[in-house]
Amino acid sequence: MSEDYIIEMLHITKEFPGIKANDDITLQLRRGEIHALLGENGAGKSTLMSVLFGLYQAEKGIIKKDGQEVQIKDPNDANRLGIGMVHQHFKLVECFTVLDNIILGVEDTKHGFLEKEAARKKVMALSEKYGLRVDPDAYVSDISVGMQQRVEILKMLYRDNEILIFDEPTAVLTPQEIDELMEIMRGFKKEGKSILFITHKLAEIMAVADRCTVLRKGRYMGTKDIAGTTKEELSRMMVGRDVQFSFEKKECKPGETLLSVKDLVVPSKVHKNNAVKGVSFDVHAGEIVCVAGIEGNGQSELVFGITGLEKASAGSIRLCGKDITNASIRVRSRDGMAHIPEDRHKYGLVLDYSLEQNLVLQRYWQPEFEEHGVIKAEAVRKYSEGLIDKYDIRSGQGPLTPARAMSGGNQQKAIIAREIDRNPSILVAVQPTRGLDVGAIEFIHHSLVGERDAGKGVLLISLELDEVMNLSDRILVMYEGEIVGEFRPKDTDVQELGLYMSGAKRNTAGKEGIAV
């Protein structure tokens, strides 16, 4: 053996009902490298990593550590071999403190009592060493997503793991936090730790990874040295065709006002102040209006207010000329408002319902699907098969797949199919591409522009500045619950937007807006 591999996964095959999630996949991790794992949603990345971490048992294939074959039956085995994992969806106990979460499962005890002082010292030392800022005594339910992730990372370090798996760690982070994480990963590499890094974002791979293994639909596509490859090549390997990174849109011809928000005030769920403090703007037919901003500046609450998930405490909202400030969610939806929610698991899907049941979640009550209170099962089946086909929603068992068993990207596609197919006048899309691969992002971007070109109004809330610049016809920057600037993408750039987003600049004239 010439190569020094710390972990080798050889010819791994893992099946789920109706689908081969991993089909003869080989992945070799060199000691001390950052190895990226790239693939579309549902390509089988999380499954492969779960096999390595002992959450799933592969039907075929072997795993070697330092050249020796090993059996990993559960996460404890993985831990003993020095393998740690930060999951795509964090696994923390919300009502425990940060410190308790970190030591959970490996607590020291003395006469049956917890011995936390040594643990605290070790955690703080690690936190210091790698720049992982956490508050050890805060409750997990109170800390930001970014800090939760740092807690997950500290959990691995606390257990002295030397092989660190990151499953889509950047999907939930702000741009600043992503930069920080990249720095932290480089630090790990310097310490001699080996890293498996799952992401969809090619730029991140180009920035930190040494090598990259690509999966497509459960199959191994190859491994590349980052130094000798390009974004384009990697994305072609991943999707199986060329991907456009930006595209030409037709000129925007705004029509009548579809959504009109005036002096809207929405209370916050977490603190006593209002999260949205008197926001006004219009969305016209044939226009994509984008609300940009750093997470937590009132965008979520703005959407809650507009869609009716939260009651506005002042101000008014008009949809196609009709006042809907106090209308129920059902009325808003019936009158032409569609909503792609920020949290697809919490709001977007009933995870224990099948795909077809989820596809009619917003219309099961319409005459097309209901007669005398009975659901027309055949109509539902036919309709959902149509959507699955049209939007290329991939799943193990078609319309009958439980939504829970679908990959994140396909779950998102299902939501988008459902919302767009309702033929709404106004589409409110909140971070519709969060955590998705380039193929899916391209698809969603085309869908949104398609809606705009069909004369619909689109209100897009996004944290990704590239997306904002690429898609929008008008940009509103939100900072601390207010709109602090309004731009056209061709008159501004990412740097300027960044200044407004961070509150360094604000534009009072923006209140009147630019003429359309």
Q: What tokens appear for 219 in the block?
A: 């199959």
42 binds, among other proteins, Mg ion, ligand ADP, none (CB under 5 to 8 A by kind): ligand ADP
Nearer to ligand ADP, 42 or 267 (CB): 42
User: From the centroid of its chain, how far is CA 321?
Assistant: 34
Distance CA 361, CA 369 (A): 11
Distance CA 442, CA 204 (A): 18
| Distance in Å, CB of 433 to ligand ADP, minimum | 14
Using rule CB under 6 A, residue 82 touches ligand ADP: no
DSSP labels, 265-327: EEE-SSSSSEEEEEEEEEEETTEEEEEE--TTSSHHHHHHHHHTSS--SEEEEEETTEE-TT-
207-226 burial, b if ≥16 CB within 10 A, otherwise e?
Answer: ebbebbbbbbbbebbebbeb
Task: Name the residue type at position 297.
Answer: N
Residue 2: partners with Cβ closer than 8 Å, 6 or more residues away:
none
346 binds, among Mg ion, other proteins, ligand ADP, none (CB under 5 to 8 A by kind): other proteins
Per CB under 8 A, which of residues 274..303 are in contact with other proteins? none
| Distance in Å, CB of 312 to ligand ADP, minimum | 37
Using rule CB under 5 A, residue 46 touches Mg ion: yes
Beta carbons of 368 and 379 less than 8 angstroms apart:
yes
Task: Name the residue type at position 327.
Answer: A
- x/- contact string, 44-73, with ligand ADP (CB under 6 A)? xxxx--------------------------
Residue 153: partners with Cβ closer than 8 Å, 6 or more residues away:
86, 130, 132, 164, 184
406 binds, among other proteins, ligand ADP, Mg ion, none (CB under 5 to 8 A by kind): ligand ADP
Beta carbons of 334 and 382 less than 8 angstroms apart:
no
Distance CA 167, CA 161 (A): 16
Beta carbons of 134 and 99 less than 8 angstroms apart:
no
Nearer to ligand ADP, 194 or 395 (CB): 395
Per CB under 6 A, which of residues 375..414 are in contact with ligand ADP? 395-396, 405-408
Beta carbons of 237 and 216 less than 8 angstroms apart:
yes
Nearer to Mg ion, 88 or 268 (CB): 88
Task: Name the residue type at position 63.
Answer: I
Using rule CB under 5 A, residue 170 touches Mg ion: no
The residue written with tokens 């005594």 in the block is: 137
Distance CA 72, CA 51 (A): 8
Within 353-502, strands assigned E span: 370-371, 374-375, 426-430, 457-462, 474-479, 482-487
The correct pick among 254, 298, 348, 485 for binding other proteins (CB under 8 A) is: 348
| Distance in Å, CB of 437 to ligand ADP, minimum | 8
- x/- contact string, 88-117, with Mg ion (CB under 5 A)? x-----------------------------
| Distance in Å, CB of 15 to ligand ADP, minimum | 9
Nearer to ligand ADP, 45 or 150 (CB): 45
DSSP labels, 117-129: HHHHHHHHHHHHH
Question: Which secondary-structure segment (H or E) carries 397?
Answer: none
For other proteins, which stretch binds (CB under 8 A), given 83-91, 227-235, 317-325, 334-342? 334-342
| Distance in Å, CB of 93 to ligand ADP, minimum | 22
Using rule CB under 6 A, residue 216 touches ligand ADP: no
350 binds, among Mg ion, other proteins, ligand ADP, none (CB under 5 to 8 A by kind): other proteins
Bridge-based pairing of strands 163-167 and 113-114 is unpaired
Using rule CB under 6 A, residue 213 touches ligand ADP: no
405 binds, among other proteins, Mg ion, ligand ADP, none (CB under 5 to 8 A by kind): ligand ADP
Closest C-alpha to 501, from 457, 469, 459: 469
Nearer to ligand ADP, 116 or 217 (CB): 217
Task: Name the residue type at position 179.
Answer: D
| Distance in Å, CB of 51 to Mg ion, minimum | 13
| Distance in Å, CB of 480 to other proteins, minimum | 26
Bridge-based pairing of strands 426-430 and 457-462 is parallel
For other proteins, which stretch binds (CB under 8 A), given 12-20, 32-40, 92-100, 182-190? 12-20
| Distance in Å, CB of 89 to ligand ADP, minimum | 11
Closest C-alpha to 484, from 468, 502, 471, 472: 502
Beta carbons of 345 and 351 less than 8 angstroms apart:
yes
- Interface with Mg ion: number of residues (CB under 5 A): 2
**Interacting residues toward other proteins by CB under 8 A:** 15, 17-18, 59-60, 307, 309, 328-334, 339, 341, 346-353, 357, 361-362, 364-365, 370, 373-375, 377, 397-398
**Interacting residues toward Mg ion by CB under 5 A:** 46, 88
**Interacting residues toward ligand ADP by CB under 6 A:** 16, 19, 21, 39, 41-47, 395-396, 405-408
